[in-house]
Structure 1
Amino acid sequence: MTTRIDTRFAALKAQNRPALVTFVMAGDPDPATALEVLKSLPAAGADVIELGMPFSDPMADGVAIQLAGQRALAAGQTLARTLEMVETFRKDDQDTPIILMGYYNPIFIYGVERFLADAVKVGVDGLIVVDLPAEEDEELCIPALEAGLNFIRLTTPTTDDQRLPTVLRNTSGFVYYVSMTGITGAAIKNRAAVGEAVQRIKAHTDLPVAVGFGIKTSEDAEKIGKDADGIVVGSVLVNAIAESLEGGKATRVTVPAVTDLVSALAAGVRRARA
């Protein structure tokens, strides 16, 4: 079965350019503004969208994304509302892939079978669940694949050649390479090492490899995009939302703050192999 994610990466490969994958937190800073941001991403240049499922105890996220999750939860965001957001988005956009990214706890509480059925129904394409290792594939990964969703796994600089086949075994859609050890939002120190890591992963899989963590500027996107099949950008977008708020509330510059950045990053991605 071919998903929107497969179709989009194949189309971009034919154009010889990497994908721009953008992360925003569902419900941040409030449900209405978050939906507006989500709807504006494709026109600004996002090829794939990761939508964060807010969770009270994130462990891989840096401060920016933690705060985004807290704002969303405070504004009443739930997993059910996040699924509704995707459903609303799909009324106008049937092509842009959407991946839900987060932690297993909210899915477990929602109920795995119910969650997967609802996710497919509203038009979700894939899942990234950062706290479920490959050893727990029966829990969510296998049922998700059987339901027709891609299950995207993270690899890191510490995923060695011995571990990599286990991590890749049930991965689909693309492989998400975390460019550093640590949390989201830090800076990439060695771009050459990232390129080498991408090539090492490609020796083990035919899947596209997208690089995330630490990509902040158009220049970063251009340089990392020379080697990677996709560039994942999150913290800098979430920060743009945070910096646009007044008294914790959205302003008229909140949506443009995100779309302007996405447009600049998209321009960087397009220059990567020009």
Structure 2
Amino acid sequence: MTDAATSPRAGQGRIEAVFARCRAEGRAALVTYVMAGDPDAETSLKVLEALPRAGADIVEFGLPFTDPMADGPAIQAAGLRALKGGQNVARTLELVRRFRAGDAGTPVILMGYYNPIHTYGVPRFLDDAVAAGVDGLIVVDLPPEEDDELCLPALAKGLAFVRLATPTTDERRLPAVLANTAGFVYYVSITGITGTATPDFGKVSEAVGRIRRHTELPVVVGFGVKSGAHAAAIAKGADGVVVGSALVDALHRSLGPDGQAGDGTVSAVETLVRELADGVRGAARGPAV
């Protein structure tokens, strides 16, 4: 029986193409996260469209949820703004569909928690996600022991299921974490919630090396990356750099006193992404041979 993680469709397509291109250019990929529907659906779509334009290679689109246990204050607040505006799973998939109509190449990863997906209905969600142009999922509260719930059905549909590894994921636990992972491995560089600390770059490099001994998948690093300098430091040893809270903060600072988007909301995010992209590209290691 073929393991789901080695299925010809798992980890293929747009995600694989991005990492192949970045390897050829001798650099890490820039992965950017924003919350769907923050601060409203139309602005959220404009921000999503701006990310690749500013230098993002892969975009993570957050599914808002009322109890985001792994997220820090910035992303929690973004989720609440989105929920207040009526954002839900169906509307998030519609935003992806509209984004995909103008961008056929940038991978879109939906990131969030299982409850909204379960409420929507797993089979329906997977079919609608594929139809919308989603490439993969990161569901932070589903451990490997629950792979039958969503991971394996997602892989069967050709969606990459990206798993998180953390500083506390030891050698005994790592094989289980990697067993059905596809697309890439997301290494959480700090213990705790998003956006609350700066990673120890030396320890991160060691951790990436350890994970690479167990998998051929790209290893990307997130949590705590806030600037171009941070991105450059991570990019020297990883296959990708994820930035989320810093972008959500930049968006939040651009909002008016009533929480509404202003003329500078999209450009505030775009400006930071350009800085991050410059940092990643400045850390290029030379073309792959």
Bin the TM-score by the shorter chain: over 0.9
1:64 aligns with 2:74: yes
8 Å Cα contact 1:23-1:49 kept in structure 2: yes
TM-score (norm 2): 0.94
Q: Which residue of 2 aligns with 1:135?
A: 145
Q: Which residue of 1 aligns with 2:57?
A: 47
Deviation by residue 1:219-255 (Cα, 9 ceiling, x = unmatched): 0011110000000000000001111011211000100
**Runs of at least 4 residues off by over 2 Å:** none
Q: Which residue of 2 aligns with 1:164?
A: 174
* Among candidates 93, 105, 121, match of residue 95 of structure 1: 105
**Cα-Cα RMSD:** 0.7
Q: Which residue of 2 aligns with 1:18?
A: 28
Q: Displacement of 1:97 after TM fit?
A: 0.1
Deviation by residue 1:58-79 (Cα, 9 ceiling, x = unmatched): 1000000000000000011010
8 Å Cα contact 2:34-2:60 kept in structure 1: yes
Identity of aligned residues (%): 62
1:259 aligns with 2:270: yes
Give the letter for the 1:173 counterpart. G
Give the letter for the 2:226 counterpart. K
Partner Cα distance (2:132, 2:199) in 1: 39
8 Å Cα contact 2:25-2:284 kept in structure 1: no
Gaps of 5+ in 1: none
Q: Displacement of 1:14 after TM fit?
A: 1.1
Gaps of 5+ in 2: 1-8
TM-score (norm 1): 0.99
Classify the secondary structure of the residue corresponding to 1:73: helix
8 Å Cα contact 1:53-1:101 kept in structure 2: yes
8 Å Cα contact 1:168-1:205 kept in structure 2: yes
Classify the secondary structure of the residue corresponding to 1:91: helix
180-189 or 233-242, which deviates more: 180-189
Q: Which residue of 2 aligns with 1:74?
A: 84
Classify the secondary structure of the residue corresponding to 2:104: coil
8 Å Cα contact 2:74-2:249 kept in structure 1: yes
The number of residues matched between the two structures is 274
Partner Cα distance (1:272, 1:151) in 2: 28
Q: Which residue of 1 aligns with 2:121?
A: 111
Partner Cα distance (1:264, 1:71) in 2: 26
Q: Which residue of 1 aligns with 2:14?
A: 4
Q: Displacement of 1:189 after TM fit?
A: 4.2
Q: Displacement of 1:190 after TM fit?
A: 1.5
Partner Cα distance (2:100, 2:232) in 1: 30
Q: Displacement of 1:188 after TM fit?
A: 2.2
Partner Cα distance (2:283, 2:142) in 1: 33
Partner Cα distance (2:261, 2:77) in 1: 15
Q: Which residue of 2 aligns with 1:249?
A: 260
Q: Displacement of 1:11 after TM fit?
A: 1.1
1:194 aligns with 2:199: no
